[in-house]
Amino acid sequence: MKLLRFGPKGYEKPGLLDAQGQVRDLSGVLPDLTSAHLGKASLDRLASLNPAQLPLVAEPGRMAPIVADIGKLICVGLNYSDHAAESGMAVPSEPVLFAKATSSIIGCNDPVVLPRDSVKSDWEVELGVVIGTRARYVEVEQALDYVAGYCVVNDLSEREYQLERGGQWDKGKGCDTFGPVGPWLVTADEVPDPQNLDMWLEVNGKRYQTGNTRTMVFTVAHLVSYISRFMTLNPGDVISTGTPPGVGLGQKPDPVYLRPGDRMALGIEGLGQQRQTVHAWDPALIDG
């Protein structure tokens, strides 16, 4: 099942994608897709619906963030060994964790707005893991039972802020619009093996990233278990699990960074695609 939210900011509605790739309106069943609807009982109820009996949305317009109340966006750094190498960093012995501010979260095709005076903004296609059941000190063997589903995340990063401004990654990761998620949440039953998903990213039609989740240093199950030992993972929290090689920082002979007018396209097998246009600093594009 592919769950989604659509509509302009402040007027989003819940929906699902039917087998023909059409959006169906769920607002007659639930007011919005929130963390309260990600548990097994709620997902089973939604899965029992006949999509053909739900209103067809001919023009869904904007695809909104997949859950209305994402509580935490926890990210994993250097989780692909070849990406660590291109970044000039060692493969970590334990997962590297950092957080993106929830104010960075946007719909999958919303404008990406560069921070004022940004010169080193970068891209990162990543597998997002959406928590469905509260997880606290869970074992690896049971960890995937706490996952509601998966999504595409673009972990945009301002490298100067991240690496040259005092050592805190959060500075370069949590900028407004730097967390596109979606287009939909694919429930875990449709992703039997999250460690075998092809992923890619292009900028202005040029392929920069091509990878597969099987090359992760730490698996999804390991990450859910590990993170649950440092904080409670609540329904609606999202874990962004790291990126394969090909980021702008790692380009040779010189890094390549995002500029206004650039167009990104990215996707993960079975989880959909995102498309974003990069804009210079303009708060109206963030708030509008």
Are residues 186 and 80 part of one domain?
A: yes
Closest residue by Cα to residue 216 from 193, 236, 191: 193
Are residues 108 and 9 part of one domain?
A: no
Are residues 82 and 51 part of one domain?
A: no
Computed over every residue of the chain, the mean pLDDT equals 96
pLDDT at 263: 98
Question: pLDDT class for 221, splitting at 50, 70, 90?
Answer: very high
Average pLDDT over every residue of 103-107: 98
Higher pLDDT, 256 or 89: 256
Are residues 138 and 93 part of one domain?
A: yes
Question: pLDDT class for 169, splitting at 50, 70, 90?
Answer: confident
Residue 176 domain boundaries: 73-287
Are residues 172 and 84 part of one domain?
A: yes
Are residues 223 and 126 part of one domain?
A: yes
pTM (predicted TM-score): 0.96
- Percentage of residues in the chain with pLDDT exceeding 90? 91
Report yes or no on 68 lying in a domain: no
Whether 185 and 4 have beta carbons less than 8 Å apart is answered as yes
Report yes or no on 283 lying in a domain: yes
- Is the pLDDT score of 167 beyond 80? no
The four Cα atoms 108, 269, 89, 175 give a dihedral, to 10 degrees, of 10
Find the CATH number of the domain harbouring 170: 3.90.850.10
pLDDT at 211: 95
Average pLDDT over every residue of 80-107: 89
Report yes or no on 244 lying in a domain: yes
- Is the pLDDT score of 87 beyond 90? no
Closest residue by Cα to residue 154 from 218, 283, 65, 216: 65
Are residues 91 and 215 part of one domain?
A: yes
Report yes or no on 65 lying in a domain: no
Are residues 102 and 8 part of one domain?
A: no
Are residues 51 and 11 part of one domain?
A: yes
Average pLDDT over every residue of 83-111: 91
Are residues 51 and 148 part of one domain?
A: no
In angstroms, rounded to a whole number, what is the distance separating the alpha carbons of residues 261 and 272?
Answer: 23
Give the Cβ contact number of residue 196 at 10 Å: 11
pLDDT at 84: 76
- Is the pLDDT score of 170 beyond 90? no
Higher pLDDT, 89 or 110: 110
Report yes or no on 25 lying in a domain: yes
Question: pLDDT class for 194, splitting at 50, 70, 90?
Answer: very high
- Is the pLDDT score of 88 beyond 90? no
Are residues 220 and 92 part of one domain?
A: yes
Report yes or no on 39 lying in a domain: yes
The four Cα atoms 96, 124, 102, 170 give a dihedral, to 10 degrees, of 50
Are residues 199 and 162 part of one domain?
A: yes
Report yes or no on 79 lying in a domain: yes
Higher pLDDT, 68 or 91: 68
The four Cα atoms 45, 107, 12, 103 give a dihedral, to 10 degrees, of 100
Domains in the chain, number = 2
Question: pLDDT class for 188, splitting at 50, 70, 90?
Answer: very high
- Is the pLDDT score of 168 beyond 80? no
Compute and round to an integer the Cα radius of gyration of the chain.
18
Closest residue by Cα to residue 83 from 219, 243, 194, 202: 243
Report yes or no on 142 lying in a domain: yes
